[in-house]
Amino acid sequence: MSEIEESLEEPEANLYNAKKPWHKPDGPPVQNSDSLFYENQATPQAAPDEEEQEAPKRKRANYKKRYDDLKKHYDNRVSQFKQREQELLAETRAAQPEYEAPKST
């Protein structure tokens, strides 16, 4: 009976098509979640001279300048819309006919 039992064994299911031969790992394995945010403690730290040389290569975001530019643009657009609104209101006032109510006796 052992031969029959062995032949009846089903192969292990491959859920969600995992571990196919064409699957390749995405990148280096991550030891823990801290390694996503912090450098690995085992790696040697770069010398201060090397860090100073790398700093000019990286472009730092200038958030104050970006905020100032966006605020200036926003204020400009608001003033344009207010000016256009005033022009349209003046145009409608000028286009209204002069109406005088009839006098009753």
* Nearest-5° Cα angle at 13, 7 to 18: 140
Question: In this structure, are residues 43 and 35 in contact, taking their beta carbons and an 8 Å threshold?
Answer: no
pTM score of the predicted model: 0.36
pLDDT in tens, 3-51: 555 667 777 777 777 777 777 767 766 677 766 666 665 555 555 555 5
Tell me: pLDDT of 74 over 60.
yes
Q: How far apart are CA 25 and CA 12, in angstroms?
A: 22
Report how far apart, in Å, the C-alpha atoms of 84 and of each of 16, 70, 71, 81, 95 are. Answer: 60, 21, 20, 5, 16
